[in-house]
Amino acid sequence: LRGANLHHPPITAVSERVHLILSGVKCGGILSAPSGNISSPNFPGLYPYNIHCSWLIVVPEGSSVLLTFHHFELEYHASCAYDHVKIYNGVAGDEGNLLGTFCGDAAPPAFTSSWNVMSVIFRSDRHVAHRGFSLSYRKDMCGGVLTGLSGVISSPGYPAEYSNDADCTWLIHVSNSSAVTLLFLDFQMENNEGCHFDYVALFDGPTVAHRHLGTYCGANKPPATITTHCFHNYTYFCGLQHLLGRHLLA
């Protein structure tokens, strides 16, 4: 127990603690396969004390990383100051790319990176060990959460043809006092009445339930500039039928 003063701890507890400290477990690394799994050392057993693991996930350019947690059980602290997992939208260490810090037994949500790199950091201190976590990742064709001051959104494979049955969602997240401005630099999509096949839809909020800014396709092109005043903007790209040379760049 954290802060306990035990003069004669049970032998089994001492043995377990020695094992957890001296096990010499190695963890972390660079993962470049299109899919894979990450877990805390010794999972589903107790993770070691005083450990620092760093995983860098790199998938091919033009793709994003989809991260899904399957088990999560760490020591709880209100600000996750002890044992924790950090998820970065890019390389670890840049706090501007930090998507969240997590502890306790509430599993983090699924994350999608805004580009082809994502980092997972796991730290434990010298008190209290739990079973830890397991997660899987895979290459996602498109979409993601965009948190930078500026960025680029394009259809899969741009400027080449986008693929059949593409289904991409981007969430643009900025500070509460900021607006989001979209500049459409190129827009060539299938022309279909009502935009029921290939289209781009814009919403002034984080879900399709928020104010609908417009749905665009073919000759129904979006304005060159669109500015929203919500600090979340939701962009949805759907390509149901593939036509040669059709693409999107914003």
pLDDT by residue (tens digit) across 124-133? 999 999 999 9
Dump pLDDT digits (tens) for 59-115: 987 678 989 999 999 999 999 999 999 999 999 988 888 999 999 999 998 888 877
> Residue 62: what pLDDT?
67
At 197, the amino acid letter reads: F
- The per-residue pLDDT for 243 is 30
CB 28 within 8 A of CB 3: no
**What is the Cα–Cα distance from 203 to 19, expressed in whole angstroms?**
53
pLDDT at residue 169 tops 80: no
Q: Which CATH class is domain 144-249?
A: mainly beta
Q: What angle do CA 62, 66, 69 make, to 5 degrees?
A: 165
**Statement: residue 9 has pLDDT above 50:** no
Residue 128 token pair: 């209290």
Sequence letter at residue 150: S
- CATH fold of 11-140 reads Jelly Rolls (2.60.120)
Phi, psi at 19, each rounded to 5°: -65, -45
How many whole angstroms separate alpha carbon 218 and alpha carbon 240? 13
- Residue type for 246, please? R
DSSP 126: S
Six token digits for residue 59: 């998938």
Q: Which residue type, as a one-letter code, is found at position 116?
A: N
Confidence grade of residue 14 (pLDDT, cut at 50, 70, 90): very low
Asked if pLDDT for residue 34 goes beyond 80, the answer is yes
What number of other Cβ atoms are within 10 A of residue 82's Cβ?
A: 17
Q: Assign residue 206 a region: left if phi > 0, alpha if psi is -120 to 50, beta otherwise?
A: alpha
Say if 11-140 and 144-249 have the same CATH topology.
yes
What is the residue extent of each domain of the chain?
A: 11-140, 144-249
pLDDT at 1 over 90: no
Candidate from 11-20, 175-184, 187-196, 233-242 with smallest mean pLDDT: 11-20
